[in-house]
Structure 1
Amino acid sequence: METLPAMGLIDYRALLIDCDEVLVDRDSGVWTALQPLLDNGLNTPGKDQVLAEFNDVIRTLYPRFDELGFSGLLCFAHRQLAERLGIKASWEEGMSFARSVPNWTLFEDAPGAMLYLRKFYRLLVYADRDLQDRGLLCERLGLEADSLLSLTTHPLDDTRWLAKMDLDTRDTLLVSRPPASAPGLGGLCLIRRSREQH
């Protein structure tokens, strides 16, 4: 087996950046959008536990992403989270929660970082969003539409896509949040936004 030399940051040609919790403050957006639901509950758990439950629900639903789409996934996640917390919730409340995604804020440093990194790298962003939300996200991040990739498509495993983009997995650095693993032969840079992750 061939051992490849370690790559330095300047050796990468492309950055593949996870959108949520690296560029977009998803947890704060979810927490804010869950407030109407949580206000209807008695003895609801704290923020960390609610977000952990939400993440667990999302993980179990993700295999159905192609069937549900992002809004559908979030609507079902809202419903299942409500059931776990013993709170009654309507489908309308679930859809309202799902439509909160465009309101999720960018981290303060994200636009400037994207502008700076664009000078040196091809920027690709993993972000599952509904079609109607993709344009706004691209505009906010200063991206072309073909630079926004779905987590469900695994583009770095697609040799035709890599050839079309003139990329190799070895030339790609994944910028993500913990836990994450490097894509194929590419590199990994972990971004820890919360103090608990340090």
Structure 2
Amino acid sequence: MLNCIIIDDEQPSINIIASHIEKIPYLYLVTTTTDAIEGIDIVMSQAIDLIFLDIHMPNITGIDFIKAINGKSKVIIISAHKQYALDGFELDVIDYLLKPVSLPRFLKAAQKANLLLKKEKNKSSNQQQHIDNFARNCKFYTLTLREIEIVKLIKEGLSSKEIGETLFIAERTVASHTANIFEKTCVKNKIELLRKLES
């Protein structure tokens, strides 16, 4: 379920988009507003996944609105003005719908948003899984805090010399810690080490 908001200064346009949202089971309309400034407050204070945004509004343009929320939510622009489409895509909007928005065209944009947000969620979930595995495995192999710091820097691709410079320790000390890490985890090289700790 994607939490949505409609921000448009024209109530008839809001009504059409709200009606389309009601027909799509994975969209949930949290609220609507005719004021873009209020819209920024709502987006920054609530968990909004998707914004249906009119680009031509009083007080603040849709482009400035997108810049203000700084990627917190995904945006589908809705406008009667075709000439703003390029600006919107440069700011990484999902789609650009021309008013009046038909249901089939709206559905296509909603499906695109749903797919993109699912992919991002899965990627985030996978990254969290790697972090959880890494933490659990470091504890299992009884790595010290210094050894964990060294492993994290190995993950970033730093050489022993660079690790020493980063942690303000001698390169031979890094080599000694690395040998201890290999022994504790029963591996022979850095590639095996990272595979083992992230699995």
Fold match by TM threshold 0.5: no
TM-score by length of 2: 0.26
TM-score by length of 1: 0.26
Higher helix share: 2
